[in-house]
Amino acid sequence: MARTNRQWLLKRRPEGDIAEGDLAFVETPLPETPDGHVLVRTLYLSLDPTNRIWMSDMDQYMPPVEIGDVMRGGAVGVVEESKDPNIKVGSIVAPMMGGWQDWHLSPGGMVRPIPTIPGLPLTAFMSVVGLTGWTAYFGLLDIGKPKAGETVVVSAAAGAVGSIVGQIAKLKGARVVGIAGGAEKCRWITQDLGFDAAIDYKSEDVGKALDKHCPNGIDVNFENVGGEIMDAVLARMNNFSRMPLCGLISTYNDKGDRRGPSNFQQILMKRILVKGFIVIDYMSEFEKASMELAQWVLEGKIKYKVHVEQGLENAVSAVKLLFNGKHDGKLLVQVSPEPKV
């Protein structure tokens, strides 16, 4: 019987917000599995702000998705056919180069096995013990280097990365202020995650609120958002403070030039260390970070949320949630059921 694969193809580069028709949902024949390859059934697709960057042709850290190609995206799946003697049927793996599709054909050497840790669901390996957890871990600890008693500010604080940043900073003894959109997100990070204060940027003056909650200035700014929020934080940073530049989500849908900080001179005057990073820079240390993050989760020291939308066909409507904030936790799409154990 002919096998088919449902795929999302990039049809044109979005102008501003992702729009109907930028991607097309198609069915294509699934080729036979070549020798040395595995056929992986997608279980979960990871939706990330960087998907919007990959859809564009702006200068970026890896080549953009070409028009007509399958949309790139992190994924975890189960091996249904294996022509690689080293990989067993039934293994749970992450293809190195995942995509928005039901099936991945991949060389056996290009899939990463997902470990099993009792007490952790598979979705944990796509969030807190996966890319977004690693992003928080390395950006904060390798660049931000918070010390006990220092003040750490994190934007997109209730999101997949920001919520973990704040909790690790608390474990290191810092005072943590999160900036998030809406009362419920602010309540979650303070009452459930233990942040010292939250600023609702949708209803508060961020500058005034920072003055109130950071009376001794800011020692670490974990920057996820950019734009006016970044300007307000930068203006209050201390001498020799650090700023891991993780993301600039408020600018990803902008057309044309994207503006930088309006108060660039602050970096000179306050001798601030600003360092951009991409989590894959730390690939050789992922395992070490996973062990520590998993331990913290199992000990109840770090909490996390995943927001799972159902059905590959809903990937485009789901990815938009990252830009309007109407998701609650690490955004995933469940593409097919997890195998029964």
Residues that bind ligand NDP (CB under 6 A): 48-50, 132, 135, 156, 158-162, 180-181, 185, 224-225, 229, 246-247, 249-250, 277-279, 322-323, 325, 327
- Closest to ligand NDP by CB, 38 or 316: 316
d(Cα 132, Cα 129) in Å, to the nearest integer?
8
What is the residue whose two structure tokens read 């029964």?
340
Q: To 5 degrees, how large is the angle CA 283–CA 288–CA 292? A: 130
Minimum CB separation of residue 62 from ligand NDP in Å reads 11
In this structure, how many other beta carbons lie within 10 angstroms of the beta carbon of residue 205? 12
- Closest to ligand NDP by CB, 114 or 179: 179
Half-sphere exposure of 190 (CA within 13 A, CB side): 16
> What letter does residue 68 receive in the DSSP assignment?
T
d(Cα 211, Cα 202) in Å, to the nearest integer?
17
Query: Taking the alpha carbons of 133, 252, 278, 214 in that order, is the dihedral positive or negative?
Result: negative
Minimum CB separation of residue 176 from ligand NDP in Å reads 15
- Closest to ligand NDP by CB, 135 or 266: 135
- Closest to ligand NDP by CB, 146 or 159: 159
d(Cα 170, Cα 149) in Å, to the nearest integer?
10
Minimum CB separation of residue 17 from ligand NDP in Å reads 11
- Closest to ligand NDP by CB, 37 or 185: 185
**105 in Cβ contact with 37 (< 8 Å):** yes
Minimum CB separation of residue 58 from ligand NDP in Å reads 13
The pair of structure tokens assigned to 135 is 């992003």
- Closest to ligand NDP by CB, 50 or 241: 50
- Closest to ligand NDP by CB, 61 or 240: 61
CA dihedral 296, 162, 148, 198 (to 10 degrees): -120
Minimum CB separation of residue 52 from ligand NDP in Å reads 8
Minimum CB separation of residue 324 from ligand NDP in Å reads 7
**332 in Cβ contact with 123 (< 8 Å):** yes
Minimum CB separation of residue 332 from ligand NDP in Å reads 11
d(Cα 155, Cα 127) in Å, to the nearest integer?
18
Partner residues linked to 222 by β-bridges: 154
